Amino acid sequence: MKHRYIPMTETDRDEMLAAIGIATVDELFEDIPEKVRFKGELDIKPAKSETALMKELSHLASKNADSRHYTSFLGAGVYDHYKPIIVDHVISRSEFYTAYTPYQPEISQGELQAIFEFQTMICELTGMDLANSSMYDGGTALAEAGTLAAGHTRRKKLLVSETVHPESRDVVQAYAAGQFIEVVTIPHKDGVTDMEKLEQLIDGDTAAVLVQYPNFFGQVEDIESVGKIIHDQGGLFIVSSNPLALGVLTPPGKLGADITVGDAQPFGIPEQFGGPHCGYFATTTKLMRKVPGRLVGETTDEDGRRGYVLTLQAREQHIRRDKATSNICSNQALNALAASVAMTALGKVGVKEMAYQNIAKTRYAKEAFEKAGFDVKFGNVHFNEIVVDVKKPVAEVNEQLFHKGMIGGYDLSSTYPELANHTLIAVTEQRTKEEIDALVQEMEALHA
């Protein structure tokens, strides 16, 4: 097609106005008081032709610093991972990217099956009994888990580890405020949840403990011990987990988790400036009727043929609003599909290998920094990330790295004041030995 869309002509406008029985567009807004209507011209650029507009937008886009043109060591929840080329091919099919909502199973079997496969893969990774069709992102999934726990236990306090992603903790706090739930932070000790403080803070009014595995600093928490402590108090155990890490780590479901949530971004979903992404939400069977969002089930029709349907649908988007634990009635089906395609393309062996490479390359980076004289904080077990003391403001370091074609790490002082001059360096399977060595050398040069 010559044009990306067909513009509306004056004749089209006149015909539509005539069809609804008015003469001008202004009549559509006659119920709005004249005194509050905007007068004059909006302070925006004049309209351009499609060709001129595309040139301008392409020029602006070329100014962005992305991981295709810069070597990225920035993670902090969003990572530069390998994405199988088949992912974009599948999600670009119109039957997937134009699908709205699969309420009519007779015409939505492909969409429903894709969601069902996503749910199945998430259960296999997390060791949980069931998973929903996805949520907006990892942060909202964690917040939904917290409110579910409060409703299920009829308790009003959540304990959240300080090693949980700071933005996710903010989302939990925002959700909790509306339901008058108290959120208490468990401080960290040497980069992991302080178990002594946890035991001091927990009591009979604690609905759940929320931890991250691996945590925000890249450390692997002893989540089994955390689970035992909260279960002894009759509360729920909620784990936020990087699904890629579960290719090598013991699944939370096998370590006592009642709810496992996270973000599927590592599988086939590009960084794309922080979203949209795809949260996952997996639970035990006992909580399945309280899971927010949608669940897809497998069934058979009257002829015995396999089919897929939305199941357990007497929930918030339909008739049980007064008993709802959530107002979420949507999902991220297209991004969930991307994650499913990526996991399928990688396979069980590929996911394990990809996860192992993240551990091995992070370990290599840690040793390279230590060899160069940098202090790397917090233990010896790392996934994706290490905390490095750069002895000067991280913003200053990152600016210099940017001029060398590198995107530096996350400035921890913005959320952990006690970690001023500390950067969170992310190393994924995408980073090569040469790129890691170049980073260390440049940072060495900054301290020469």
Interatomic CA distance for residues 211 and 169, integer angstroms = 10
**pLDDT above 70 (res 406):** yes
pLDDT band with cut points at 50, 70 and 90 for residue 4: low
Residue with tokens 């929930």: 315
- What are 252-277's pLDDT values in tens digits? 999 999 999 999 999 999 998 888 99
**pLDDT above 90 (res 183):** yes
**pLDDT above 60 (res 2):** no
Residue with tokens 């001023």: 420
**pLDDT above 90 (res 238):** yes
**pLDDT above 80 (res 326):** no
Half-sphere exposure of 124 (CA within 13 A, CB side): 15
pLDDT mean over 194-222 = 97
pLDDT of residue 1: 41
pLDDT of residue 448: 67
Amino acid identity at 397: V
Interatomic CA distance for residues 274 and 67, integer angstroms = 13
Assigned CATH topology for domain 86-341:
Aspartate Aminotransferase; domain 2 (3.40.640)
**pLDDT above 90 (res 327):** no
Residue 402 is given by DSSP the state: H
Residues of the chain with CATH 3.40.640.10: 86-341
pLDDT of residue 316: 45
The CA distances from residue 226 to 63, 176, 204, 356, 445, in Å, are: 46, 22, 16, 25, 42
pLDDT of residue 112: 92
Interatomic CA distance for residues 99 and 90, integer angstroms = 13
Residue with the bigger pLDDT between 228 and 314: it is: 228
3-state secondary structure of 218: coil
Given a contact cutoff of 8 angstroms between Cβ atoms, the answer to whether 87 and 268 are in contact is: yes
pLDDT band with cut points at 50, 70 and 90 for residue 318: low
pLDDT of residue 67: 86
DSSP strands (E only) in 8-167? 71-72, 130-131, 157-161
Looking at the chain, the whole-number percentage of residues with pLDDT higher than 90 is: 78
**pLDDT above 50 (res 339):** yes
Looking at the chain, the whole-number percentage of residues with pLDDT higher than 70 is: 96
For residue 261, what are the β-bridge partners?
240, 281
pLDDT of residue 312: 79
Interatomic CA distance for residues 216 and 203, integer angstroms = 26
pLDDT of residue 204: 94
pLDDT of residue 315: 47
**pLDDT above 90 (res 121):** yes
pLDDT of residue 379: 82
Average pLDDT score over the chain: 92
pLDDT mean over 161-176 = 97
pLDDT of residue 135: 94
3-state secondary structure of 361: helix
Amino acid identity at 436: I
pTM of the model: 0.89
Angle between the N-to-C axes of helices 333-371 and 433-446, in degrees from 0 to 180, rounded to the nearest 10 = 60
pLDDT of residue 97: 84
Residue 414 is given by DSSP the state: G
**pLDDT above 60 (res 166):** yes
pLDDT of residue 56: 95
Residue with tokens 């509360």: 235
Domain 71-83+348-446 has CATH 1.10.10.10: no
- What are 291-309's pLDDT values in tens digits? 988 899 999 988 999 999 9
Residue with tokens 């440049």: 442
Residues of the chain with CATH 3.90.1150.10: 71-83+348-446
pLDDT of residue 94: 87
The CA distances from residue 214 to 31, 307, 385, in Å, are: 55, 37, 10
pLDDT mean over 99-113 = 84
Interatomic CA distance for residues 133 and 118, integer angstroms = 7
